[in-house]
Structure 1
Amino acid sequence: MAPHRSPKNRGSVRSSFALIATAGIIALTLSGCVSAPAPEAGSGDSSNAVEVKGDFGDTPRVEFPSPLAPEETQCTEVIAGDGERLVDGQQSLVGLAVYNGATGEELQVTGFGGETGDPVPLAISENTLPGLNKGLSCGSVGSRVAVVVPEKDGFGPNGNQSLGIEPGDSLVFVLDIQRAFPARADGAVRLSRDGFPAVVLAPDGRPGITVPKADPFETTEVEVLKEGSGQVVESGDTVVVHYTGVTWADSKVFDSSWEKGAPAIMTVSDGADSQVIPGFSEAIIGQKVGSQVAVVIPPSDGYGDQGSENIPPNSTLFFVIDILGVI
């Protein structure tokens, strides 16, 4: 995964259900700065039967009669949030409690702070369980949402034996949506210098890149394409970014968070704790949230003479990066 240094430096992921979430079965992506559509699910007898006690952000106390077996995914906003509802394209941070809706068994509670750990990054995307996507569309930042998901919107007819979910079992989620990040950079547009690759944005913010037929820069060079007004990124920060990377030689896309359906989360640093190649960190550190930056990265600040996966040795790289937030 290209701007990462190596798999072992990509940061730890949470175990059990949250691990599956960040791996793509429940990995959610939520988007903002656009008018949110109507929720993809509504409340019903099953979701209304989920009793949730406790304050938002605290570990919930959850009770419900089992089995719950709705024909369609249902969601009930237990605590109302503020702002627009979540949509495709935003990364979010949530507290996540998961139960077997057929047996009432608790499967995992994580992300509520304290012993349950930090909030879990989730995003509404095509790689996410359909029922969880539908449930998240019912909430906004500050929402506590109870979601009941039937088999067809969950793990399907095979269930998931490793999580204790048998064929036919429903799932119950309680989600505290603690933060959500914009879907794209929203800073003021600035012009780039001559000799830089041309960048054209699709309506959703996805960049198209054309590299000039000229020799690349010999050092890492950064241009601000949009200047944000948010928090300044410091060395050691964990950031939420959207990015696309191409090789200078042929403008070929070798990695893109846009193509994966969700912004990426990574630690940038000018030290050994960085999770990404040096040129990628250099492009982001010192910039403001809301900015879009472009960076030319020579092999010395990229993958050197070794290359990586589909990046040839001694490749100069070009990235367009939307800086969406600091965690």
Structure 2
Amino acid sequence: MRKSVALIVAAGLLVALAGCSSSGGSSAAGCTPMASSGAASDLVTATGDLGTAPKITFGTPLNAGSDTEVSVLITGSGATLPANGIVSGDYTLLDATTGATVTATAYDGKTASTFPISTAGIPGIQKGLACATVGSRVAITMPPADGFGTEGNSQAGVGASDSLVMVFDITNAFGTSADGAIQPAEAGFPSVALAPDGRPGITIPSGSVPTDLRVADLKKGSGVAVADGDNVIVQYTAVVWADKSIAGSTWADGTPKLVQASSSDPLATTIVPSLVGQTVGSQYIAVVPPASGYGDTASTDGKIPANSTLVYVVDVLGILPAAPAQ
């Protein structure tokens, strides 16, 4: 039961990975909260240090009313979580009617739940976490409409009229696009124009197709450098040089992706190339000829023909180190 509900909570599926080592430096200036404190959320208390399983108390049954509310129990001084950003931390989700725990993370200091809050399967989570700061513990109360909906969740033991309570310890926040310093354009590369949300548009130039692997910084981040084996949160767009078709895009998919950087595999498991050595907050462009990419083999989804030269624009958002061996 707990596993299935956890997957609903973290629908972005960047779930249960090692604690974050760095963030994209997103400050979310001007972030507009989607919920405020109120009579329901102020009833929730949670004792214990941040990052440890809290003792949560509130009077049952608790009725969340008609709107999601959020109260800050511990105020953090870190980066602000954008309303469409990525959150990492530990949480406990409870049925507000019975006080029973629906699901919770391990609070073990090694693993945390990491997911884009805009794709969380429970709407009240996004409303409660938007604009919170890293290092905070927040208490969120959610009416059924912002929880499991009007049907509840029988598998989790949550009734159709049951409100939810979540206590979330925010250990890190990531934005959805690179925030590094813009770098001068280098000759010979496709041009890149960014939409207001950071989505790249790539224009392939005329002329001969490059035959060597080429990489250039579009933005230079001030975060830590990606090491071999790191799990890295990225946004990327990949274009086939020959026909200018989109081979893959996290922007189109609606959520960033977690990939493992590898110095022995230039394509890093054939998702994005040349991650090792890039710094968090950077955006870079890579032109990948067949010899450094898929070679004479087409991709299994048919989007990349054999012998294709590819162009990638990659935003390096954050690093989640590999979990310790058990």
Distance, in Å, in 2 between the alignment partners of 1:39 and 1:26 is 23
User: How big is the shift at 1:76?
Assistant: 0.8
After superposition, the C-alpha distances for 1:291-318 in whole angstroms (9 at most, x for unaligned) are 1111122344444413132513313321
Q: Which runs of 5+ in 1 are unaligned?
A: 1-13
Determine whether 1:109 maps to 2:100.
Answer: no
Give 1:13-162 correspondences, 5 Å limit: 15-24=3-12, 32-70=26-64, 71-83=66-78, 85-114=80-109, 118-125=111-118, 128-137=121-130, 139-162=132-155
After superposition, the C-alpha distances for 1:198-218 in whole angstroms (9 at most, x for unaligned) are 101122222111112344323
Q: Which runs of 5+ in 2 are unaligned?
A: 16-23, 321-326
Give 1:263-278 correspondences, 5 Å limit: 263-271=256-264, 276-277=269-270
Q: Size of the alignment, in residue pairs?
A: 307
Q: Confirm or deny: 8 A CA contact 1:31 1:89 kept in the other structure.
A: no
Determine whether 1:319 maps to 2:307.
Answer: no
Distance, in Å, in 2 between the alignment partners of 1:236 and 1:217 is 29
Secondary structure in structure 1 of the residue aligned to 2:41 = helix
Q: Which amino acid aligns with 2:53?
A: T
Q: Which amino acid aligns with 1:45?
A: A
Distance, in Å, in 2 between the alignment partners of 1:73 and 1:232 is 39
Residues 155 and 251 of structure 1: CA distance in aligned 2, closer, same or farther (over 3 Å): farther
Structure 1 length-normalised TM? 0.84
Structure 2 length-normalised TM? 0.84
Of residues 186, 196, 202, the one that matches 1:193 is: 186
Q: Confirm or deny: 8 A CA contact 1:91 1:262 kept in the other structure.
A: no
Residues 228 and 85 of structure 1: CA distance in aligned 2, closer, same or farther (over 3 Å): closer
Of residues 187, 209, 218, the one that matches 1:225 is: 218
Distance, in Å, in 2 between the alignment partners of 1:303 and 1:103 is 55
Determine whether 1:175 maps to 2:168.
Answer: yes
Q: Confirm or deny: 8 A CA contact 1:48 1:76 kept in the other structure.
A: yes
RMSD value, Cα: 2.7
After superposition, the C-alpha distances for 1:48-70 in whole angstroms (9 at most, x for unaligned) are 22221101111111122222222
After superposition, the C-alpha distances for 1:228-270 in whole angstroms (9 at most, x for unaligned) are 2221111101112221222222322232222344432221113
Secondary structure in structure 1 of the residue aligned to 2:286 = strand
Q: Which amino acid aligns with 1:43?
A: S
Q: Which residue of 1 aligns with 2:158?
A: 165
Secondary structure in structure 2 of the residue aligned to 1:19 = helix
Distance, in Å, in 2 between the alignment partners of 1:309 and 1:163 is 36
Q: Confirm or deny: 8 A CA contact 1:31 1:86 kept in the other structure.
A: no
Distance, in Å, in 2 between the alignment partners of 1:31 and 1:253 is 29
Q: Which amino acid aligns with 1:63?
A: T
Secondary structure in structure 2 of the residue aligned to 1:97 = strand
Distance, in Å, in 1 between the alignment partners of 2:244 and 2:153 is 41
Secondary structure in structure 2 of the residue aligned to 1:162 = helix
User: How big is the shift at 1:179?
Assistant: 0.8
Of residues 272, 276, 288, the one that matches 1:297 is: 288
Distance, in Å, in 2 between the alignment partners of 1:22 and 1:268 is 23
Residues 107 and 201 of structure 1: CA distance in aligned 2, closer, same or farther (over 3 Å): same
Q: Which amino acid aligns with 1:290?
A: G
- Amino-acid identity (%): 39
Determine whether 1:237 maps to 2:230.
Answer: yes
Residues 232 and 204 of structure 1: CA distance in aligned 2, closer, same or farther (over 3 Å): same
Residues 284 and 16 of structure 1: CA distance in aligned 2, closer, same or farther (over 3 Å): same
Q: Which amino acid aligns with 1:80?
A: T
